[in-house]
Amino acid sequence: MDWLTQLVWHNGKLLGIDWSVWKIIGWLGNATFFSRFFVQWYATEKKKQVVVPTAFWWLSLTGSLLLLTYSLHQEDSVFIFAYLFTWIPYIRNLIIHRRHKNAHVDCPNCGKSCPPQSNFCPNCGARLAAVTA
């Protein structure tokens, strides 16, 4: 059991890492960015089809911004460039998701939210009012 203690806490360092606020930001970025895969995997397994939930894009954005912040502090040009532009598609996907969600129409018959440009409610079959732009 002493070897486990040595592995976790050695020479005053937890897991052999010299911790600082910047190390915590970097590790939080890694953990956040990594967690998005579990979110996507869970959503896909639950629906039995490939799904990329909004939480995936929020975790991607948060993780990449934390890692960009950490890389700027480290002044590592390779690391900075790796995360300098990743936030752009994440924000774009969040915008597209919001627009798509807002474009849904509520069925006047059953109240179910119907996909944009649907003519009939997939739940009850009621005709939906034509959407004017």
pLDDT tens for each residue of 2-38: 777 776 776 667 766 777 898 888 889 899 989 999 9
Give dist(CA 60, CA 54) in Å, integer. 10
6's enclosing H/E stretch is helix 2-8
Region of residue 79 (left: phi > 0; alpha: psi -120 to 50; beta: else): alpha
Give dist(CA 107, CA 117) in Å, integer. 12
Global pTM exceeds 0.95: no
Give dist(CA 117, CA 131) in Å, integer. 7
pLDDT tens for each residue of 75-101: 989 889 999 999 999 999 999 999 988
Give dist(CA 69, CA 71) in Å, integer. 6
Contact (Cβ atoms closer than 8 angstroms) between residue 20 and residue 68 = no
Q: Which residues contact 47 (CB under 8 A, 6 or more apart)?
A: none
Residue 131 has pLDDT above 60, yes or no: no
The separation between CA 87 and the C-alpha centre of its own chain, rounded to angstroms, equals 11
- Strand, helix or coil for residue 53: coil
Domain residue ranges in the chain: 2-102, 106-133
Helix axes 54-74, 21-47, angle to 10 degrees: 160
